[in-house]
Structure 1
Amino acid sequence: MATSRSPVPLHCARGDARCNGARLVRALEAAGVPGPFFLYGSEASVSLCAGARERLSPGREDRGDVWGRVKTFLAAHHDRHVFGFFGFDLNGGPGDARASPFPDCWLGVADLALLVGPSSWTALGAVPVLTDVPACTCGDRPVHYAAGLDRSRPDEYRRTVEAALAWVGGDPRKRMTVARRLSLPSVDMLRSVSCIPSACDHSRSFYLDLGELGLTGQCPEVLMVGDREGFVSYKLSGTFPRSDDPAADDVLRRQFQVDPKNLAEHANSAASFGMALSGLGAVTSTGPEVLDLRQLRHLMTRFQVAYSTGCGVADGIRAVLPLGVAPAAGGYHALMAAEAGARGPFYGLVGLIEPGGAVSMTQVLRTVYRAQDEFYSWVGAAVTSQSTPDGEWTETMIKLGEVGLILAD
């Protein structure tokens, strides 16, 4: 039997830690290990958490004190692996409760934690007894993209964009990220976590199974990587398509770097984000730079935060939780009036806090959600004074081309 922190060999045809993590989840389930289950990482390394006898999942009636409860919960379990998500709907007050199958946030203290690599896994504490790990299935099922499965009609989303434009009112300082929800066929959530390569070096893939609820996705917008001293954020905004033809793609890249809409959108977004961070301590930034992904590119500004005395991880999480609108005063309620339905985890944060204070929180974008037997995704676009309804619809379709998934049997 393996001893704690002794690597156990595990083979994946592609050498992908995400595939190995998904196979270990199936092995743990077969061995009778209780959920929930959580995966978080990249091809190089994945953290796997299982079980959570200690949990925090405040109800909507607790929104007024939710961040105090989060801070108390994290302090009480500072020496354990804490995993989960912070939903976008935490931005609303008690009077803004809206129907969503997901709670406003969900945190669990892992009963079992594993560190999974491309060719082995290591128990971080208690060692599970695993006698039969499923074989690697990389490449045996076709990858689908949400853009090809979307049957939404653009008219409703165009009306949402028009409502956002009415609020923006031509003011270049205003920005509202409006989203739409699309239904999907049944998805194999575990296989989907590793079905496409990571979008970039700092991109994170994630999988969370809460029983009747679940989510899986991959996002390059990692808004918090750090520890108890501070963190780095990779803030993205501004979207432009790419081309498979190198010469055409070079033209698109040069157009993107001078496109006034994207430049203004990113400047607005980065300024709002920097303002949200300013109360945490010393903040510096670099950029913007162009981040090339598979089918699209973004502008990215990196922020570095050093906590001042009295600030810590819970304060940082609250500061980086995206609002989706600027200015925030009055804007959030305008956004809720423009959209139909609560977002739940979408546009919130998902991540892991490790013993010792290491923390990583990724924005919940390009994600598939499961609520009982229903599968769906969300996608959004930032509406500014230079937006058009047709342009924002096109942007959502480009983004859905980055959501890879494996359909269930």
Structure 2
Amino acid sequence: MDQTNAVYGTGATTEVNGNLVNDAPLTLYNDVHFKPVHTCESWAIFPRLLPELRLRVWQLFLQRHRMIELDILADDDQDNDSHSGYYSDLNHLGNIISGRSYSVTIKGRGYAASLSPLLRVNGEARHAALEFYRIRLPFPRQNAEQMLYLNPEHDVLYVRPKKHYGCRPPRAVTVLVDFLHDVKAYDPKNQGVLHLALSREYQMDFLECHFHDSPDPLIPAMLHPTAALSFASVLRRLRSVFCVIGFRGHLRGTSELGVYYHFAQTFPLCRRGSPTGAFDWFESDPRLGVHLDLRDVALGKNPCPLILAWAQLEKAFGVERTSTSTDDKDVFNFYICPTMFWQAPWQSRAAAQRPPEGSREELAEHLRYEAKAWDHARDFFSYHLHMGQLIPRHGILIDAEMFEQMERAHSTAVGMWLFRAGAFDKVKDIRRFCFDLSAVRPGLLLFEC
């Protein structure tokens, strides 16, 4: 998310038409956590350090988690099954590549988005970066001269399918299988992707299909024999899968009839912009008041079928998980990852007047709109359902003192929660796709924005 000035935050308030509107500078929990440290533009003695120390400095700079958002587009001008190069050509490492006709793009940032600045500092830094990003995947087809630089231990690939309008390209999941094979084929260690995030579209294509008539669940017989074996190997090596799902609405203030009236400050907001940005991974969300907001979590879908479908997918490809391993490299986790998909309301503004997508200004616009919508919802429900008794700004799940403490602690965050698969085994389903998760402390991916 680009750093631009904003005028909205979660601190001071002013009264407008009887409602409290927040007008403090925008400060997120991300800002508190990633607070700037004192830096200097140059360090004269750095070149005189021992080479081992300089290398360690470069490595510390590189060892950050990144979530890289990739759009995968299948080209429909080629029948891959009859193509002579399909799973027959070799790359420079001597490994078979898929030969699939597809394109990979990084939204809005071009192909340099995955490049480390160390590639352009000096020869020593460039060597350290190339050693770290050992996978150098050529962007297919027209952009083959460009490289996607990856470190599978640190990078999460967040994949989304794209389609040609007006045509019927191959099924999205078969193209994903070929892409995952190619990542492994360009890995000198033959590991490939270790951390995979699935968009809603991929979830619908090959996970939710287990519970609908169409399309059919993915099985080895649907794939090229080499692709099926490769996909089974990828599944076995995966350390984590993130199923990214949305909350039921696009605002953190509850506005449904017959529910708790509540503004959930700690519901994480999705990242917009910065499609290759870094993040910190918390095993437990450290923010104040998380357990209170977790008492009423309305999701856009029931996550339980996704968990079962992944287990069925692994079974179909002969993958067996054991819980006895003590090696972290062998531990696999399947995560349900709620995040608030938001978009600032631009219906009345010309495109030229809109702030850049993913900018702080855009987020500030959304938060102002969200605050006003919460005030309007409170007014409506107070008048129609509570005989004129005002629903307070803090709602009815959290008392005023705690709500204000959470505001002062800047609980609003750009990120996503991480619920392990077992988190939904015994939770209370309050109503349709709404859960009391207060007994579970989720992890948190917190984006640097």
**Structure-1-length-normalised TM-score:** 0.23
Greater strand proportion:
1
Work out which of the two has the higher radius of gyration on C-alpha atoms and give 1 or 2.
2
- TM value normalised by structure 2: 0.21
